């Protein structure tokens, strides 16, 4: 998210205040969407021809357990978030956008349902983007009950994907809280039973979309780096369509095929998912509705791509990535701890933080981390007070060692490691430690992207991690 998506003018001298009102989760997607559009350029892509930019566009935010549509008026430089029900559409939020010096976007809320917020607007919401291609948003709201944060990825849906030949994608699950239940039909995500990462071949013919060679794997053995066990059985192929919906041009996978869930108490569960693919191959999957689950309140195991909330991915590189070049790039993005909603006796809120990695000065200023000095490490962390408005880069209290690239899968790193220093604000252990991770890497419109899923069973609390990064230089 390097160049501001909206050419909005703003008074940089206006005071910035944290919001004092709770914001519904639907706003998460709304705000992300608002930031995604470029004002003066129409980026080309490998997948679709150059697209024109209309004054009003529709985007999909997915992978957070709900779907919403968002419209932005480029002439007025504002955004509007709309939810839909049987009775029609309801405006959930609106506001303006202010670009920061480091390229991120500050989203300012001026309207919430039933109330108009006068100056100053509610702030503390940030977007990282590759304009018109992909975006990541972190939303923070404060009320008398405390501070609530969440995040969501966003993919443009102006057009359906159009491939001259089948394209391979790699993805990681966007996890829910860590689950140890013996059945995959649970309120959380079980890394030993459910999909952690995978790949798929996608072909298009007009509006027809064919998913083939779907490969899904559980999380690899800790620090072993070997591929995780296949999730069995994965569907051999899924034929569906991309069509105009309330969410733009999206791919809907109908509840027409079934999977037998592994583990005790196996049962047949129909899959359902909504998938959006941006013009350069940024892929986001929303895990759909809980149809077919034994209890309507429990989401089912989703076997289309990812488990948990869905999946985030990108095109598989045609050639191996030079990992040292990848590790030396600069990134901005979201740090995500998925403990929120835990069914344990003491639930943890997890964390959703705006962060940066790969800035050269961070390695020398970083506190001692138990990380070896190799060319596959990125140093970084969160911004102070979760506010990127005052600095080009954040703290240095984390490190990602990507490890060796899978020799058979370009851009796949199954032996990655995340190092957490004592300085990281959500280090509940009180000492430095590390945990294993899997990452997929590639490019979106010429910029690197890294999407990572980790399983932290050492820190306090135990939880899955997600780190989602877009190149900023």
Beta strands at 447-456 and 433-444: parallel, antiparallel or unpaired: antiparallel
How many whole angstroms separate alpha carbon 219 and alpha carbon 226?
9
Is residue 104 located within the same domain as residue 209? no
pLDDT of residue 221: 74
Domains in the chain, number: 3
Domain boundary among 299, 315, 331: 315
Indicate the SS3 state at residue 394.
Answer: coil
> Which own/partner contact pairs does 389-392 have at CB distance under 8 Å and 24+ positions apart?
389/16, 389/100, 389/106, 391/102, 392/101, 392/102, 392/356, 392/359
Beta bridge partners of 462: none
First to last CA, the chain: 10
Is residue 328 located within the same domain as residue 311? no
Is residue 281 located within the same domain as residue 344? no
pLDDT of residue 60: 74
Is residue 303 located within the same domain as residue 332? no
CA angle, residues 15, 102, 13, in degrees to nearest 5? 20
How many whole angstroms separate alpha carbon 63 and alpha carbon 312?
8
- The parent domain of residue 51 ranges over 17-154
Asked if the structure places residue 9 within a domain, the reply is no
Is residue 305 located within the same domain as residue 328? no
| CB 105 within 8 Å of CB 97 | yes
Is residue 200 located within the same domain as residue 274? yes
Neighbours of 466 (CB within 10 A): 26
Length, in residues, of the chain: 473
How many whole angstroms separate alpha carbon 175 and alpha carbon 311?
8
Cα dist. 388→107, 320, 335 in Å? Answer: 12, 33, 13
Is residue 221 located within the same domain as residue 254? yes
Provide the token pair at 181: 């239940």
How many whole angstroms separate alpha carbon 376 and alpha carbon 90?
47
């394209």: which residue's tokens?
A: 167
pTM above 0.75, yes or no: yes
Neighbours of 158 (CB within 10 A): 18
Is residue 358 located within the same domain as residue 430? yes
pLDDT of residue 356: 95
C-alpha 314, offset from chain centre: 11
List the beta strands (DSSP E) in 131-229: 134-143, 146-156, 167-174, 197-205, 208-217
Cα dist. 352→130, 281, 328, 392 in Å? Answer: 20, 25, 24, 19
Is residue 271 located within the same domain as residue 192? yes
| CB 401 within 8 Å of CB 369 | no
Neighbours of 184 (CB within 10 A): 27
List the beta strands (DSSP E) in 304-375: 310-315, 331-337, 351-357
Is residue 334 located within the same domain as residue 450? yes
In sequence order, the 6+-apart residues with CB closer than 8 A to the CB of 452 are 172, 400, 416, 418, 437, 438, 439, 465, 466, 467, 468, 469
pLDDT tens by residue, the chain, 473 residues: 333 333 333 333 333 333 333 344 444 444 444 443 333 333 333 443 334 444 455 667 776 656 666 665 545 677 777 666 667 777 777 788 778 899 888 888 888 777 788 778 877 788 888 888 888 888 765 444 555 567 888 888 889 999 999 999 999 999 988 887 766 556 778 888 888 999 999 999 999 999 999 999 999 976 555 677 887 666 668 899 999 887 788 898 874 455 455 555 555 555 578 899 999 999 999 876 544 444 444 444 556 898 888 899 999 999 999 999 999 899 999 999 987 543 443 446 788 999 999 876 666 667 667 666 678 999 999 999 889 998 888 999 999 999 999 999 999 999 999 999 999 999 988 899 999 999 999 999 999 999 999 999 999 889 999 999 999 98
pLDDT of residue 316: 98
Asked if the structure places residue 161 within a domain, the reply is no
Indicate the SS3 state at residue 262.
Answer: coil
Domain boundary among 315, 344, 372: 315
């Amino acid at each position: 998210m390097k160049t501001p998506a909206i050419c909005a003018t703003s008074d940089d001298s206006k005071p910035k205040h944290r919001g004092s009102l709770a914001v519904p989760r639907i706003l998460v997607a709304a705000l992300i969407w608002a930031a995604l559009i470029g004002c003066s350029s129409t980026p080309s892509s490998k997948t679709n021809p150059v697209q024109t930019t209309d004054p009003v566009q529709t985007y999909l935010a997915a992978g957070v357990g709900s779907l919403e549509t968002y419209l932005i008026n480029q002439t007025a430089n504002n955004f509007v978030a709309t939810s839909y029900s049987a009775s029609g559409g309801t405006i959930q939020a609106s506001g303006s956008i202010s670009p920061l010096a480091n390229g991120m976007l500050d989203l300012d809320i001026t309207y919430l349902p039933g109330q108009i917020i006068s100056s100053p607007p509610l702030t503390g919401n940030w977007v990282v983007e590759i304009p018109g291609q992909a975006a990541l948003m972190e939303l923070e709201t404060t009320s008398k009950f405390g501070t609530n944060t969440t995040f969501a990825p966003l993919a443009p849906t102006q057009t359906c994907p159009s491939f001259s030949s089948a394209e391979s994608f790699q993805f990681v699950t966007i996890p829910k809280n860590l689950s140890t239940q013996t059945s995959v039909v649970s309120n959380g995500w079980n890394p030993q039973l459910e999909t952690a990462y995978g790949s798929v071949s996608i072909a298009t013919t007009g509006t027809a979309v064919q998913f083939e060679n779907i490969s899904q794997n559980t999380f690899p053995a800790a620090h072993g780096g070997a591929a995780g066990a296949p999730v069995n059985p994965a569907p051999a192929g899924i034929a569906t369509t991309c069509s105009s919906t309330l969410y733009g041009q999206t791919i809907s996978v109908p509840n027409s095929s079934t999977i037998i869930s592994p583990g005790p108490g196996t049962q047949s569960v129909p899959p359902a998912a909504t998938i959006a693919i941006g013009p350069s191959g940024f892929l986001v999957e929303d895990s759909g509705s809980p149809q077919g689950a034994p209890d309507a309140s429990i989401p089912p195991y989703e076997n289309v791509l990812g488990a948990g909330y869905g999946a985030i991915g990108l095109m598989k590189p045609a050639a191996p990535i030079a990992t040292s070049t990848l590790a030396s790039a600069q990134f901005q993005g979201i740090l995500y701890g998925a403990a929120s909603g835990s069914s344990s006796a003491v639930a943890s809120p997890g964390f959703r933080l705006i962060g940066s990695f790969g800035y050269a000065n961070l390695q020398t200023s970083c506190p001692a981390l138990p990380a070896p000095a190799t060319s596959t490490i990125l140093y970084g962390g969160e911004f102070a007070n979760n506010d990127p408005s005052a600095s080009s880069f954040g703290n240095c209290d984390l490190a990602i060692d990507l490890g060796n690239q899978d020799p058979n899968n370009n851009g796949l790193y199954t032996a990655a490691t995340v190092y957490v220093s004592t300085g990281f604000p959500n280090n509940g252990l009180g000492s430095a430690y590390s945990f294993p991770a899997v990452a997929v890497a590639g490019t979106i419109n010429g910029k690197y992207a890294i999407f990572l899923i980790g399983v932290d069973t050492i820190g306090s609390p135990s939880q899955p991690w997600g780190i989602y990064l877009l190149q900023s230089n």
